[in-house]
Amino acid sequence: MNPNDTPPSAGQPLPPHQPLSGYYRDAADRRRFLTSIFDDTAADYDRIEHVLALGSGPWYRNMALQRAGLAAGAQVLDVGIGTGLVAREALTLIGEHGRLVGVDPSAGMMGEVKLPGIELVQGRAESLPRDDDSCDFLSMGYALRHIDDVAAAFAEFHRVLKPGGRVLVLEISKPASRLGTLALKTYMRALVPLIARFVSRQRQTAHLWRYYWDTIEACISPVSIVEALRAAGFEQVERHVELGIFSEYRGFKPA
């Protein structure tokens, strides 16, 4: 059993996964590693993601946002905006009267965001540089595994959302079956990095995608993520799964 599967008591940190010593030495080194690898591979990220998702990424992200209740005119905070893949689909749903702010610790990733009319802010999920009750909808797309403390991040999500606001956390989850896990591991840790070597410009890109799988394999369980959202104060928390691996964690802040 993953040692992180049971959320700690209130006030205790909840790492998204056990330490991965093959990539960094300690917590401080982990943060330096992540900053470096995301900054260095930002120019390749969208191209490799398109390969990883077999071109279905935009459609899926759009549908996931709709299922979570994103509507026209919403004030959106996209945490871990990266290169803007989730934000791009959110903009199509909120329309001209909506507003989107993206937060990310990686200046390199945000430098690849090519979306008009949005605000970009450098910051971390555990300490969001936003006011209390300042957004209608908060999204996080495939960044949960790269933060320091899930419990602290979810508490911040709850703080910045307006009463009645909704949260959507997208993640890739390890398949329930051994065969499914083996297939996904082979794809993400062997095939995708191999493809990356041929289509990427940056040397570290293949390394990033191997690291991606290792964080998925070590990640806390979906049950723990659901429980952490509830512990942060969210209600009607649920997990929706597509194709056995694409998890959508949803909830809302009560009025």
- Residue ranges of the domains in the chain? 38-52+178-218, 56-173+221-252
Q: DSSP secondary structure string, the chain? A: --TTSSPPSTTS---SB---TTT-SSHHHHHHHHHHHHHHHHHHHHHHHHHHTTT-HHHHHHHHHHHTT--TT-EEEEET-TTSHHHHHHHHHH-TT-EEEEEES-HHHHTT---TT-EEEE-BTTB-SS-TT-EEEEEEES-GGGSS-HHHHHHHHHHHEEEEEEEEEEEE---SSHHHHHHHHHIIIIIHHHHHHHH-SSTTHHHHHHHHHHHHHHBPPHHHHHHHHHHTT-EEEEEEEETTTEEEEEEE---
pLDDT of residue 10: 58
Both tokens assigned to 199:
């289509």
pLDDT of residue 108: 96
Give me the residues of the chain with pLDDT under 50, please: 1-4, 7
CATH classification for the domain delimited by 56-173+221-252, as one of 3.40.50.300, 3.40.640.10, 3.50.50.60, 3.40.50.150: 3.40.50.150
pLDDT of residue 168: 98
pLDDT of residue 1: 42
Per the CB < 8 A criterion, the answer to whether 167 and 136 are in contact is: no
pLDDT of residue 193: 80
Q: What is the pTM of this model?
A: 0.93
